[in-house]
Structure 1
């Protein structure tokens, strides 16, 4: 009798697991709420970035304009694109894809996964100077943000140029999250070293795992909590761009009364000790040389081959704060020049805000665009889409 009690739950668990894994994706798609895609436009859910279903649905629709970036997307205020365009009844909806620590390499993998859907797709890509540290993205920022599903799909992706795909796989292999995944790392090694027998053998468990991860993505999409709008305000409705810039300046001034460098009071108060400790500490720093430029070039190559229509947004640094830390102006200007050249050489468009380093209330803290900066971005996005 004891054996029956022992094996009963195990058998039941196996039956349930089999049902969960092998239920057709088409059945699961029917269970997804009709408004889930609209909700996910502002959800900022990591599972959405690391999955494929919702992004694929978004890219099929002309309603959504994806905005790719990092932590600045979660800095909400009335001038944030999601609030501004919703409040003004725009014909499109910004779809936010990014969180803190997401840099070129994460977006490269994402763009490669959806390459077939990017043709003629208009999008915005916010590029931050802080990505361009000497050694590129570190493990601490890569591991929580990269998509295992997208990484497993990469060797089987026939939409990306072969040389670009190989460079991306070689770059991914430098991270422990990939190296410590035995099947994935061996799959990459077999592919890169043209070991066809080994690659085909490893493809069986790899594709089985892809199937499991895709089902996981579908279940997340079904069960994800309904998000609330992060910021709703109609105070930016029906204003000219000049009126909005003046309004944003006033809004920023009210929130920087007790800080230096035009930093949001709440941020300054929270990080006051750190800011004080940074005086003169960055005298030897520069964004002129970085592995990130190679990662960024992979992004440009993928988008170019896919016939995507991106608008790159070149974010400045907070000039007053960077001067305070001793960060050389040359190390900043060299970055602006180099990144603009890379974008231009790929025949893409960019909005250049590098001359706003000392523009009060353009940045909301030491590194994030906000307030007046959002107004400039909204205006350029509107012109780009028109």
Structure 2
């Protein structure tokens, strides 16, 4: 009887024990190859966003991250990944973002990118993040990385105390719940206290050790592969880089792919997302307001993480489809005032490298759908990225940031005078 039971359950028990040993072993397996890094750079896989191994490996190679959200998936011929491949940029984009990611998610992400120190990064800002409620709780909880959270907890005894309190308190308010010890540690940080030695030992040697092993073993397994899509997109570009000719080509392609509507929206997106209910959007954004939002405070947390690592950041303020703005009745002042406010928050603290695509003269085909860059919008950004990507090391003179905790307050989140 015992023999039969062992024959039945023995292999399962042995496998479970072996897996547990594997997950807590300090040994690192060589799973991050140059091929895997290249695949991960355009995969937009959530495991890459929530992990650390492959991103930190990429920082040792010729990659510069572009951090944003859903716009990164618009991989037309003028997408930075296509342009970098076609015109042989010295460094290639490493894409980090998904629909639903915003400032606080990316703050944890940047905090976990330890090899980003003294390097460059690009960050794409979306006005639609800055709503009255800010990031959705379900989106934040989905994209929050337990490993990045553990890193934040372990580093919480250092740096700006008020910032650490804010990040911990905000995570708790958004419903973050990990293990009981992690939750207790997070609460202590939010209360302005240091974590206990017991909490530090547990988080470091149990929680984080296991998560690091999982990331090492499974973080790059079966990733999305967009290489064929990028190859096809790049093949539609001329061999020689000429901005004026590329601009005409972008407009031509845009017309071909948006001829079934008069809003300059890609036909595929229009058919799937808008066509059946397009009239419900007529004048639906008349009361749009991007000046009152906790996202401004979350954005400050992100800026702090960049400052801690002395990262030279190019910030991109993403455009909104002008025809969509008119159709939905969105007040022009909503975007103009947002632009002024976010620019003030950046420049007053020394973040001066800003590519503002909200004020270009010719806005035709600057967005591929309603609120995301595409076609000519990507090309305009590429023009700036082309030089930025020549050297991945930060210029120390461009990282002399002056952080101001005023931007963590409710007063700033709701300020309309700046």
Could you state the TM-score of these two structures normalised by the residue count of structure 1? 0.92
1:283-294 aligned within 5 A: 283-294=286-297
State whether residues 48 and 220 of structure 2, in contact with CA within 8 Å, keep that contact through their aligned partners in structure 1. Answer: no
Distance 1:360 1:31 in 2: 45
Match of 2:119 among 97, 114, 121: 121
Distance 1:309 1:110 in 2: 16
State whether residues 36 and 221 of structure 1, in contact with CA within 8 Å, keep that contact through their aligned partners in structure 2. Answer: no
Deviations 1:128-171 (A, max 9, x none): 11111111101132122111110122111166433322211111
Distance 2:388 2:221 in 1: 36
| 1:47 aligned partner | 47
1:279-318 aligned within 5 A: 279-318=282-321
Pair 1:368–1:222, CA change in 2 (3 A): closer
State whether residues 50 and 146 of structure 1, in contact with CA within 8 Å, keep that contact through their aligned partners in structure 2. Answer: yes
Deviation at 1:9, TM superposition (A): 4.1
| 1:20 aligned partner | 22
| 2:402 aligned partner | none
Deviations 1:277-335 (A, max 9, x none): 11112222211111111111111122123211000001121122122212222121110
State whether residues 319 and 357 of structure 1, in contact with CA within 8 Å, keep that contact through their aligned partners in structure 2. Answer: no
Distance 2:377 2:203 in 1: 44
Pair 1:4–1:255, CA change in 2 (3 A): closer
Pair 1:192–1:129, CA change in 2 (3 A): closer
Deviations 1:221-259 (A, max 9, x none): 453347241322233231311111111011101111111
Q: Is there any run of 5+ residues in structure 2 with no aligned partner, and where?
A: 391-418
Residues paired across the two proteins, number: 380
| 1:199 aligned partner | 196
| 1:141 aligned partner | 139
Deviations 1:60-115 (A, max 9, x none): 33x1111001001011111111011111112111111111111000111111222x
Distance 1:152 1:272 in 2: 44
Pair 1:267–1:356, CA change in 2 (3 A): farther
| 2:347 aligned partner | 344
| 1:250 aligned partner | 252
Deviates more, 1:329-338 or 1:317-326: 317-326
RMSD between superposed Cα atoms in Å: 2.1
Distance 1:194 1:319 in 2: 45
Distance 1:84 1:44 in 2: 18
Could you state the TM-score of these two structures normalised by the residue count of structure 2? 0.85
| 2:85 aligned partner | 86
Deviation at 1:357, TM superposition (A): 8.4
Distance 2:263 2:138 in 1: 28
| 1:241 aligned partner | 243
Distance 1:88 1:160 in 2: 41
Distance 1:132 1:332 in 2: 11
| 1:354 aligned partner | 358
| 2:101 aligned partner | 102
Q: Secondary structure at the match of 2:319?
A: coil
The runs of at least 4 aligned residues of structure 1 exceeding 6 Å deviation read none
State whether residues 164 and 302 of structure 1, in contact with CA within 8 Å, keep that contact through their aligned partners in structure 2. Answer: no
Deviations 1:158-198 (A, max 9, x none): 6643332221111111122x1465332212113333666x7
Match of 2:222 among 221, 224, 227: 224
Distance 2:309 2:283 in 1: 44
| 1:214 aligned partner | 212
| 2:128 aligned partner | 130
Q: Secondary structure at the match of 1:365?
A: coil
Q: Is there any run of 5+ residues in structure 1 with no aligned partner, and where?
A: none
